[in-house]
Amino acid sequence: MEKILDSQSLTVLIIDDSPDERDIYEQFLLRDTHQSYLTVGTDTGEDGLQLLDAHVCHLILLDFNLPDMNGLEFLEILQTSNTQIPVVMMTGQGNEAIAVQAIKQGAYDYLVKRQITPESLQSTVRNVLKQSNLQTRLHKSKQRQSLITSIALRIRQSLDLEQVLEQATVETRQLLECDRVLLYKCELDMSGVIVAESVNSQYQSTLGQKIVDTCFQNNGAQYYVQGKCTTINDIQRAGLTSCHIELLERFQVKANLVVPILLTTTSRNSSDQSQSTQLWGLLIAHQCDEPRCWTIEETELIKLLSLQLAIAIQQAELLSKTERSLQREQELNALKSQIIGTVSHEYRSPLASILASASTLRIHGASLPEAAQKKLLNMIENKVRHMNHLIEDMLFFNQIERGQIPIQSTPVNISDFLLEQIEEYKLKKPSYAINLEVKGTIEPFENDPKILGQIFNNLLSNAIKYSLDSRHIDIQLKGLASQVIVIIKDYGIGIDIDDQDSIFEPFHRGANVGTIPGTGLGLSIVQGCLDMCGGKISYTSEPNQGTKVTVGFPRKIDCRLSSARNCM
């Protein structure tokens, strides 16, 4: 990790029991025109180790002969403590055996004191620092490759996306040695939720927080869709907007690194296929204790990680889609079985009645009075209508389930539309009193007349069928600011309490309906139609008191409600 320092000087720890020699080495280093240095010095190995704890040191000039230990013993302690600081060993005599042993134990170079000149010391220190930096970068590179390989392997072995994302944040934070790594998932409006996080215990957790940032929603999202990343070394010096700084300060951020996670989607039409890029979210690293210079290697690492995470996310989404398709297929197969069973059951009785009536007419038609003949013909006609209605309901419901009904949105005068429906039922059922009350501003209103017809036809049909002796239905139409409400209330048999949780299930019929004809599909069709046009339905019901159904419609259909349907 590279921190921003007040100066570009590097700190050298000089451990030598001779104050004069320490001063000489310090003067030699201060004369270097290629690099500036700060020095700290001591005369014992023990004090040197304590200074390492108190200062950020970049290199150690170590005398071999110290009052409390020799240079080899000092190197051994450094190795044991896993301190990665380059050491240049110095001795008063050129002993090759000592030099070899020092190099074996981790020293980068070896100098004979009487041969040290300003140029040789400066050159040796610069070369050792360069060599140390290269080795550190090589070590980091190996760690990064190991991390990428580990995550890639985990992606191929695990189907648990949450676990993959969580482990990726943990390992990335360890490798970058930063204070927080998080994954931010974007919503449709470019607000977002933090879905995975690894954070230093001294800083607040952001996991699960929903972030609504208008600056990002208005400008930043498009920037990241293009695959660009953001590197901020110091939020106070990066020229950020005040709202951006305020957001970062909420999470104690001093520096951050942001890379988009982009998913590739393929769309096909009749002639060709095209690919588009979708912004799933962001992979973000935070430094919270102080500003930080992010290196090119760190930026490239997090870019590679974002690509691997994109693979994991697309893999998980594909699996989820496959599971949903299998579940849907199972549901459709179960529905087919229900349809076959319902057709067999519902057709058996009317077919028997039609066969009996037809046989009676064929055998005894000539001798039957005209009124009896008409009665048999009417019964055949009514049974055929019932069977045809059953087929239409099942076909329409099957189309809803498969998403095969296109929505054709158009301006609708909802009050006139309802009056037409009511007049049709009054002609069929002249003994029923159906009242319509209109409140509020109804227009403008857009919807699909075919869908509305299915909804109100089924709701009015149910209200009439289950009213029985009351023969009284009240309808109220309300215009609100954002929606139109229709309330249909009957005073009939109501819905048993045990059935109220199941009334929208296909083919479900209440225990109290007796011989009242029906398919059990009406409310399922209503629910499916409302889902297509963005409507909502609720109800209250008491047995033997009646049922009140409330339906709400948005004033305009949202075309994005279903990608499987066309909004025309």
What b-and-e string marks burial along 95-110, b requiring 16 or more CB atoms within 10 Å of the CB?
eeebbebbeebbbbbb
- Residue 103 and residue 27 share a domain: yes
- The token pair at 566 is 């066309």
Which whole number is the average pLDDT over 275-284?
Answer: 85
Q: Which residue segment(s) compose the domain that 276 sits in?
A: 158-294
- The token pair at 525 is 């069709």
What pLDDT, on a 0 to 100 scale, did the predictor assign at position 308?
A: 83
CA distance 562 to 400: 12
What pLDDT, on a 0 to 100 scale, did the predictor assign at position 357?
A: 85
220 DSSP assignment: I
Compare 95 and 266 and report the one with higher pLDDT. Answer: 95
Residue 216 scores a pLDDT above 70: no
0.95 exceeded by pTM: no
- Residue 137 and residue 26 share a domain: yes
CA distance 75 to 89: 10
Which whole number is the average pLDDT over 56-64?
Answer: 93
Helix boundaries (H) for 95-196 = 96-104, 118-157, 161-176
What pLDDT, on a 0 to 100 scale, did the predictor assign at position 69?
A: 93
CA distance 449 to 525: 15
At 156, the pLDDT band (50, 70, 90 cuts) reads low
Residue 215 scores a pLDDT above 70: no
Report the candidate in 528, 503, 559 with the shortest Cα–Cα distance to residue 398.
Answer: 528
Tell me: the pLDDT tens digits for 138-148? 887 777 777 77
- Residue 507 and residue 442 share a domain: yes
What pLDDT, on a 0 to 100 scale, did the predictor assign at position 189?
A: 66
Any domain includes 566: no
What pLDDT, on a 0 to 100 scale, did the predictor assign at position 157?
A: 67
Report the candidate in 203, 186, 383 with the shortest Cα–Cα distance to residue 288.
Answer: 203
Residue 358 scores a pLDDT above 70: yes
Compare 467 and 196 and report the one with higher pLDDT. Answer: 196
Compare 63 and 333 and report the one with higher pLDDT. Answer: 63
Q: Is residue 129 within 8 Å of 11, Cβ to Cβ? A: no
Residue 474 scores a pLDDT above 90: yes
Which of 361, 381, 401 is the endpoint of a domain? 401
What pLDDT, on a 0 to 100 scale, did the predictor assign at position 32?
A: 92
Half-sphere CA count of 453, side-chain side, radius 13 A: 9
Any domain includes 312: no
Residue 231 scores a pLDDT above 90: yes
CA distance 206 to 182: 8
- Residue 244 and residue 204 share a domain: yes
Which of 294, 320, 354 is the endpoint of a domain? 294
Any domain includes 384: yes
Cis, bond preceding 444 (omega within 30 deg of 0): yes
What pLDDT, on a 0 to 100 scale, did the predictor assign at position 565?
A: 42
Tell me the three state secondary structure of residue 251.
coil
Which whole number is the average pLDDT over 388-392?
Answer: 73
Domain count, the chain: 4
Q: Which amino acid is at 64?
A: F
Any domain includes 162: yes
What pLDDT, on a 0 to 100 scale, did the predictor assign at position 184?
A: 93
Average model confidence (pLDDT) across the chain: 83
Q: Is residue 88 within 8 Å of 67, Cβ to Cβ? A: no
Any domain includes 467: yes
- Residue 418 and residue 375 share a domain: no
What pLDDT, on a 0 to 100 scale, did the predictor assign at position 564?
A: 38
Report in angstroms the alpha-carbon separations of 561 from 198, 267, 531, 557: 36, 18, 8, 8
CA angle 116, 120, 123 (to 5 degrees): 145
Domain CATH for 416: 3.30.565.10
- Residue 27 and residue 104 share a domain: yes
What pLDDT, on a 0 to 100 scale, did the predictor assign at position 567?
A: 38
- Residue 541 and residue 429 share a domain: yes
CA distance 66 to 90: 11
Which of 401, 430, 447 is the endpoint of a domain? 401
At 12, the pLDDT band (50, 70, 90 cuts) reads very high
Compare 201 and 95 and report the one with higher pLDDT. Answer: 201
Domain CATH for 116: 3.40.50.2300
At 345, the pLDDT band (50, 70, 90 cuts) reads low
- The token pair at 421 is 């429906």
DSSP string, 457-474: HHHHHHHHHTTTT--EEE
Contacts of 412 (CB under 8 A, 6+ apart): 445, 446, 447, 449, 452
Lowest mean pLDDT among 30-44, 81-95, 277-291: 81-95
Which whole number is the average pLDDT over 190-206?
Answer: 90
Domain CATH for 352: 1.10.287.130
Any domain includes 299: no
Any domain includes 449: yes
- Residue 275 and residue 205 share a domain: yes
At 547, the pLDDT band (50, 70, 90 cuts) reads very high
- Residue 218 and residue 201 share a domain: yes
Compare 442 and 30 and report the one with higher pLDDT. Answer: 30
Q: How many residues does the chain have?
A: 568
Tell me the three state secondary structure of residue 307.
helix
CA distance 293 to 387: 77
Any domain includes 524: yes
Q: Which residues pair with 183 in a beta bridge?
A: 196, 283
Lowest mean pLDDT among 325-329, 341-345, 458-462, 486-490: 341-345
What pLDDT, on a 0 to 100 scale, did the predictor assign at position 164?
A: 83
482 DSSP assignment: S
- Residue 189 and residue 116 share a domain: no
Compare 335 and 479 and report the one with higher pLDDT. Answer: 479
- Residue 245 and residue 135 share a domain: no
- Residue 415 and residue 384 share a domain: no
Tell me the three state secondary structure of residue 529.
helix
Half-sphere CA count of 508, side-chain side, radius 13 A: 15
Q: Is residue 263 within 8 Å of 280, Cβ to Cβ? A: yes
What pLDDT, on a 0 to 100 scale, did the predictor assign at position 39?
A: 93
Residue 260 scores a pLDDT above 90: yes
Report the candidate in 458, 451, 444 with the shortest Cα–Cα distance to residue 533.
Answer: 451
Residue 177 scores a pLDDT above 60: yes
